[in-house]
Structure 1
């Protein structure tokens, strides 16, 4: 696991969000599912989603949402990211479910955010909802999957 000094060097666009053992990730937008999806024979048919309006979101009890992260992430070759929820959310019965960030990935991160509680939970664009922990990876290739965005 990399510390603050190395994280600032590798991710200068996130220097203001670096913590002792990771990088805080800020909520951008929240989306609700509007249709069905499937993954049969690895054919990705993602469900239609709808962006919720405003910059303060009320998460309904027992409901899942997609959440985008404010800044695009560029993971350098030779490194991987694991994303973990902030403990304040967990203590509020809200989870953030994530995937692994592969070496060479560039793009917008999308996480599943779920209110498991019996009461509504309010969250605002800009709130820190997850932390990226970065690890070196030896002998790795680079991500070239369908979620790769063209670098700006």
Structure 2
């Protein structure tokens, strides 16, 4: 576990990119799946997605979405990043699924 000050130095971030919960990410786009994906023994087919327009608020109904952030975070070799949803997302019934 690293302190925000350590993350700042390790990743070369500015002060305004950090808060008490870690790296501050900003929303770029939201997509909704339009087709189903397929997992096969030796292959996969990813679903097609459609971008949701936000003017400037996104009102989302129940379901799955793909979120793209404005920031790209490059984790150095020998480290691993964990993503947790902010409590404000959890209070709205949203969560984030991640993978290593």
Over 3 Å counting, the alpha-carbon distance change for 1:23 and 1:49 in structure 2 is: same
| Greater strand proportion | 1
Question: How do 1:2-151 and structure 2 match up within 5 A?
Answer: 2-13=2-13, 15-20=15-20, 22-54=22-54, 55-60=56-61, 62-100=62-100
TM-score (norm 2): 0.85
Over 3 Å counting, the alpha-carbon distance change for 1:14 and 1:72 in structure 2 is: farther
Over 3 Å counting, the alpha-carbon distance change for 1:21 and 1:56 in structure 2 is: closer
How many residue pairs get aligned? The number is: 99
Residue 71 of structure 2 aligns to a residue whose secondary structure is coil
**Which consecutive residues of structure 2, in runs of 5 or more, have no partner in the other structure?**
none
Residue 50 of structure 1 aligns to a residue whose secondary structure is strand
Aligned mates of 1:24, 1:5 — CA distance in 2: 13
TM-score (norm 1): 0.58
Higher relative contact order (CA 8 A, sep 6+): 1
| Cα deviation code 1:41-70 (max 9, x no counterpart) | 25231100011123421101x211111111
Aligned-residue CA RMSD in angstroms? 1.8
Superposed displacement of residue 6, structure 1: 1.1
